[in-house]
Amino acid sequence: MPVVNKAMRETNSRDLFPGALEMMILESLRREPAHGYALVQHIQQRSNNLLQVEEGSLYPALQRLLKAKLVKAEWELSSTNRRVRTYQITAAGLRRLEQHISSFERMFEGISLVLNLGKATTS
Amino acid sequence: MDWIPQIFRRRKFYEDLSEEIRLHIEERTEQLMREGMSAEEATRAARRAFGNRTLLEERSREVWQWPTLESVGADLRFALRQLRKSPGFGVIAVLTLALAIGANAVVFGVLNALILRPLNVPQAESLFVIQPGERHSYPDYLDLRQRNRSFDDVAVFAIRQSGLDTGKDPSKVWQYETSGNYFDVLRIQPYLGRFFHASDEHGPNSAPYVVLSYAYWHSHFQDDRTVVGRVVRLNRQAFSILGVAPPGFQGTILFFAPDIFLPMVNHEQLTGEELLNGRGTHWMFEMVGRLKPGFTPEQATGDLNSVDSYLKNTYPKEEDNEPYTLARPGLHGDYLGGATRAFLTGLMLLSGLILLAACANLGSLFAARAADRSREMALRLALGSSRNRILRQLFTESILLSLAGGFAGLMGSIVLLRWLSMWQPVPQFPLHVPVSPDANVYLVAMVLALVSGVLFGVVPVRQILRANPYEIVKAGSTGAFGRRITARDILLVVQIAICAVLVTSSMVALRGLMRSMHSNFGFDPQNVMLVDTDLTTAGYSGDRIPAMQRRMIEALQAIPGADSVGSVNWPPLELPNGGWQGKVYTDTTTDLSPSNAAGDPHMYNVSPDYFRASGTSILAGRAFTWHDDTNAPRVAVVNREFASKILGSVPDAVGRYFKLRDGTRVRVVGLVEDGKYVNLTEDQQPAMFLPLLQSPASWIWLVVRSSRDPQQLAAAMRSVLRDIDPGMVLAIRPWSTELGGTLFPSRMATVSLGVLGIMGAMLSITGIFGMAAYSVSKRLKELGIRVALGAQRKEVLQAALGRAFKLLAIGSAAGLVLGILAGRVLASIVYQATPRDPVVLVGVVLAMAALGLLATWIPAQRALSVNPLILLRED
């Protein structure tokens, strides 16, 4: 479970875990707008159920994104005819997502390099 | 900046959020039921999958909140809960603060209204009072106005009383007789109609106009807008109403609100006195000048004094004023301003001390509370709360209390200040104290509240920062009461010292007032009625005045029960700024320029029986008779001071001669006792009495001594005088009432000091009580053991309260010494106040001891009634 309980601007590039949930939300919303429940389903399926996100922890993250104007929300009727609050990524959200992904990729690359190097010396 | 709409949208966000979460769980439940779970199982599983809903919802909301604000809210709620648990402490703290802050707000309100706030006219900062203003004649004023180069313009006014007849009941009004430019110098605009201007004046009696003050128009013309242009009779002369002054304007002297304003050039028409051209007739009251831009007050003073030296050279016989100085307008220059400023500053210091004492008091209470709660705090520290958080919480509590107290005190002071503004302390003068509170007062009260909150909140800080949670939790709260001197002890001593200062000061003041009430005035106001008659306002002039005055005196003499009837132009101690003075010369002086004068005694014009009627004892020689008239040689009666200072000998005074300013030789025929003439604090002053028929006055006060009931006597006097002339305006009052005006400042001083003294006493009671009660309750167990081991009552008391008494004694002694030093300052304000008065010293010691006994009574009872069995069983 990602531990996300600090304000977004403090956590942009400090740690791997904080901000990760937000990144995944933004990425899902980039593909298509969705409501909270659908987002949870989507993230769990895409991660092959490797990430067991506590469903509720999505909501504080969504509120932070709303406050930072990276997403916007609207009440509408879903295809299954239920009242849902659908989230949509904004232009600012797209920009933020791109920054995140590139910095995340660089970080990931760095980490895997370090880890590979470690393996190389011990073997 | 979108946080403002956010505040309002927040509720909507929260509602959306809850709804969204509810729908989420619902959707999950339905999904699970489709997968084959029962409804109950599905609900439970859906909830489990969601997580802690309340916590998550709270976290989501936090996103929209300010974190500090929210936790301040929590602190506030906690503080309120704490206070609800000990309502007694809360009430005492709020009351103490309300009293202390209220006292400060009232004193500051008065200080603000009378001294800090500029006069209510446009650009008041360039307006100055040129003093001495009263030592001027009209020609002096004209010269000063024309010859100075540093003022845009200079206005002048004199204060008088007239009879105003609007066709109905004639009544007395107080008027400013002003130069034509008065309103233009002040730059104010009329509320109704127009003002008179310099251009309306074309020589003596050319401008028969009158401007009403707003208050007079409101009370006597019922806001009638058609008054403009109406003709009214002032002293039976026709004057037409030009306009009404604006509501906030009541002349240039804050204490003294005139009813009407009229041009000085019409003085002769009004009174029959031809004063305008008299170079030596000093009848102006105050000069007000508008400084030119770019001139400093120092330059202006130099400029004025160069005009002055020109005038002194040109008219050496007439000019004798002191060098000019400038002062802020509002309090008649430094004359009233100096004393008022000194007194109010002193009062402000004392009330500041009250607030400090209150803070010390609450600080020690707070420290005691913190000590009582040390276990709770230790627990919180042990559980990971930061010391900052605990301190913040304590400060929240103290600031909450101080703001509540400040608010209550401010409300009280607003009521009091409003009431003070409406108050008319002296019926015969339009005196009032315009001190309605403004934003400054509110601000000061709130700042004081905050500061005191921090002050007493800071007391337990050290205690908490040093607290060791482990020790406290282990030992419990009873172990930590040490023998060494604590901050609380010092605070108590400081507080008691401050209170003793206040008690000493108020006792010094009270004693002073009592003495001045019983000092020798040089006359006896008991059983005397005064009638204030101005024959000019009744339309008399010339020779008819003395004849009429004699007729009135004889008619009053015929009233049954009237012992003696006299008259005086102004009774001593009547005028707040003194009466008439006249320079006198020794008999051998030939050059009668002001600098050669032998003295400047007070001068009274009296009728033959005045000395008997007023109760002034004649020490040698004789009083006047009706034969001391214009055909007889000039004579005078003088007081002892006059005899010794000017004539050089008291025993041989009768029969000697002196000279008046115009060179007239006057023979002294009588010697009377010394008295008080202007105020009760004055040094002994020389005075001379001249016979009414030799130096006539149109405005005299009839003095009637009688042991009859004052009301009956007044009625009889009124009917007798009405028989002589029904048109006369009469004010009949007992002399003792009349003296209220003179005693007013010292009464005010005494009342305010007395109130501060009582507050000081109350604070010391609560302070000692708090300390004693706390130390007894802390040591109940120890006391119980002592009782169980056979301690006597005396020993128990000594153990329980010895410390409190020791602190009380130290504090009182320090306070007494300080109080005596402060009393020196007081002595200059309150009449006859001397700090080295044994009664005061003994009184203070007794008062503090009594306060100590009173405050420790209940804790002592508690200590004595300790039951060791119950106590020791408890733990």
Domain definitions of chain B by residue range? 3-65, 124-329, 339-517+745-874, 528-742
Query: Which residues of A make CB contacts under 8 Å with B?
Result: 5, 7, 35-37, 54-57, 59-60, 62-64, 66-67, 73, 75, 82-85
Length of chain B: 875
Q: Using an 8 Å Cβ cutoff, are B539 and B235 in contact?
A: yes
pLDDT at B184 over 80: yes
Residue B825, pLDDT score: 65
**Cβ-Cβ contacts under 8 Å, B16 against chain A:** 73, 75, 85
Query: How many CB atoms within 10 Å of residue A41?
Result: 16
pLDDT level of residue B277 (50, 70, 90 thresholds) = confident
* Of the candidate ranges A11-15, B65-69, B320-324, the one whose mean pLDDT is the lowest: A11-15
Q: What is the mean pLDDT of residues A60-70?
A: 87
pLDDT at A53 over 70: no
> B569-581 burial string, b = 16+ CB within 10 Å, else e?
bbbbbbbbebbeb
Residue B209, pLDDT score: 92
pLDDT level of residue B191 (50, 70, 90 thresholds) = very high
Give the C-alpha separation, B78 to B762, whole Å: 30
Inter-chain residue contact A36 with B24, CB threshold 8 Å: yes
**Cβ-Cβ contacts under 8 Å, A36 against chain B:** 20-21, 24
Residue A2, pLDDT score: 41
Residue A16, pLDDT score: 38
Length of chain A: 123
pLDDT level of residue B741 (50, 70, 90 thresholds) = low
Q: What is the pLDDT of residues B64-108, one digit of tens each?
A: 776 666 677 778 888 888 888 877 778 888 888 898 898 898 888
pLDDT level of residue B666 (50, 70, 90 thresholds) = very high
Inter-chain residue contact B28 with A55, CB threshold 8 Å: yes
Of B19, B53, B59, the CB nearest to A5: B59
Highest mean pLDDT among B142-156, B744-758, B826-840, B861-875: B142-156
| Selected residue with higher pLDDT from A85 and B582 | A85
Residue B58, pLDDT score: 78
Of A57, A60, A83, the CB nearest to B23: A83
CA-based max dimension of chain B: 137
Residue B67, pLDDT score: 62
Inter-chain residue contact A56 with B52, CB threshold 8 Å: yes
Among B775, B796, B798, B774, smallest CA distance to B785 is for B796
Give the C-alpha separation, B319 to B375, whole Å: 81
Inter-chain residue contact B56 with A56, CB threshold 8 Å: yes
**Cβ-Cβ contacts under 8 Å, B29 against chain A:** none
Inter-chain residue contact A54 with B21, CB threshold 8 Å: no
**Cβ-Cβ contacts under 8 Å, B23 against chain A:** 37, 82-85
Query: How many CB atoms within 10 Å of residue B170?
Result: 20
Inter-chain residue contact B60 with A62, CB threshold 8 Å: yes
pLDDT at B481 over 70: no
Handedness of CA B740, B745, B748, B754 (dihedral sign): negative
Residue B363, pLDDT score: 83
| Selected residue with higher pLDDT from B301 and B323 | B301
Q: What is the mean pLDDT of residues B340-349?
A: 79
Considering only alpha carbons, which residue of chain B is nearest residue A38? B24
Task: Calculate how close chain A gets to B188, using CA atoms only, in Å.
Answer: 56
Of B13, B24, B56, the CB nearest to A60: B56
Considering only alpha carbons, which residue of chain A is nearest residue B31? A37
Inter-chain residue contact A5 with B23, CB threshold 8 Å: no
* Of the candidate ranges B255-264, B430-439, B731-740, B842-851, the one whose mean pLDDT is the lowest: B430-439
Mutate to test the interface with B, among A3, A8, A22, A55 (most CBs of B within 10 A): A55
Inter-chain residue contact A60 with B21, CB threshold 8 Å: no
Q: What is the mean pLDDT of residues B762-776?
A: 78
Q: What is the mean pLDDT of residues B394-416?
A: 89
Inter-chain residue contact A54 with B51, CB threshold 8 Å: yes
Percentage of residues in chain B with pLDDT exceeding 90? 13
pLDDT at B576 over 90: no
* Ordered alpha helix ranges (H), B373-480: 374-382, 387-422, 439-457, 461-466, 469-475
Task: Calculate how close chain B gets to A89, using CA atoms only, in Å.
Answer: 18
Highest mean pLDDT among B93-97, B361-365, B668-672: B668-672
Size of interface A-B (CB pairs under 8 A): 60
Each domain of chain A, given as residue ranges in start order, spans 15-122
Residue B634, pLDDT score: 92
pLDDT level of residue B577 (50, 70, 90 thresholds) = low
Q: What is the pLDDT of residues B819-834, one digit of tens each?
A: 777 766 666 655 555 6
pLDDT at B386 over 60: yes
Which residue has tokens 């200590």? B863
Residue B522, pLDDT score: 86
Task: Calculate how close chain B gets to A101, using CA atoms only, in Å.
Answer: 24
pLDDT level of residue B353 (50, 70, 90 thresholds) = confident
**Cβ-Cβ contacts under 8 Å, A82 against chain B:** 23, 27
Q: What is the mean pLDDT of residues B620-626?
A: 91
**Cβ-Cβ contacts under 8 Å, A55 against chain B:** 24, 28, 49-51
Q: What is the mean pLDDT of residues B352-356?
A: 85
Among B61, B80, B64, smallest CA distance to B72 is for B80
pLDDT at B111 over 90: no
What number of CA atoms fall less than 13 Å from residue B824's CA on the CB side?
4
Mutate to test the interface with A, among B6, B9, B13, B27 (most CBs of A within 10 A): B27
Considering only alpha carbons, which residue of chain B is nearest residue A65? B63
Residue B673, pLDDT score: 92
pLDDT at A1 over 50: no
Give the C-alpha separation, A67 to A71, whole Å: 8
pLDDT at B364 over 50: yes
Task: Calculate how close chain B gets to A54, using CA atoms only, in Å.
Answer: 6
Distances (CA, A) of B610 to A19, B618, B703, B735: 102, 11, 7, 14
pLDDT level of residue B242 (50, 70, 90 thresholds) = very high
Radius of gyration of chain B from its Cα atoms, rounded to whole angstroms? 37
pLDDT at B425 over 70: no
Q: Using an 8 Å Cβ cutoff, are B707 and B574 in contact?
A: no
Residue type, position B807, single letter: L
Considering only alpha carbons, which residue of chain A is nearest residue B18? A59
| Selected residue with higher pLDDT from B393 and B385 | B393
Q: What is the pLDDT of residues B708-730, one digit of tens each?
A: 888 888 888 888 888 888 777 67
Among B611, B612, B633, B603, smallest CA distance to B694 is for B633
Considering only alpha carbons, which residue of chain A is nearest residue B2? A67
Give the C-alpha separation, B301 to B131, whole Å: 10
Query: Which residues of B make CB contacts under 8 Å with A?
Result: 13, 16-17, 19-21, 23-24, 27-28, 49-53, 56-57, 59-64
3-state secondary structure of B131: strand
Considering only alpha carbons, which residue of chain B is nearest residue A68? B63
Considering only alpha carbons, which residue of chain A is nearest residue B13? A63
Q: Helix count (H) and strand count (E) of chain B?
A: 27, 21
**Cβ-Cβ contacts under 8 Å, B62 against chain A:** 60
Of B28, B60, B64, the CB nearest to A59: B60
| Selected residue with higher pLDDT from B449 and A52 | B449
Radius of gyration of chain A from its Cα atoms, rounded to whole angstroms? 16
The token duo for A42 is 């989507």
pLDDT at B591 over 80: yes
Task: Calculate how close chain A gets to B49, using CA atoms only, in Å.
Answer: 6
In CATH, the architecture of A15-122 is Orthogonal Bundle (1.10)
pLDDT at B661 over 50: yes
Inter-chain residue contact A59 with B21, CB threshold 8 Å: yes
pLDDT at B307 over 60: yes
> B254-285 burial string, b = 16+ CB within 10 Å, else e?
bbbbbbbbbbbbbbebbbbeebbeebebbbbb
Q: Using an 8 Å Cβ cutoff, are B340 and B115 in contact?
A: yes
Residue A23, pLDDT score: 86
Highest mean pLDDT among B202-216, B366-380, B411-425, B501-515: B202-216
Residue B2, pLDDT score: 54
Inter-chain residue contact B56 with A5, CB threshold 8 Å: no
Give the C-alpha separation, A37 to B46, whole Å: 11
Average pLDDT, chain A: 77
Percentage of residues in chain B with pLDDT exceeding 70? 89
**Cβ-Cβ contacts under 8 Å, B60 against chain A:** 59-60, 62-63
**Cβ-Cβ contacts under 8 Å, B13 against chain A:** 63, 66
Of B50, B53, B60, the CB nearest to A63: B60
Inter-chain residue contact A57 with B53, CB threshold 8 Å: no
Residue B607, pLDDT score: 92
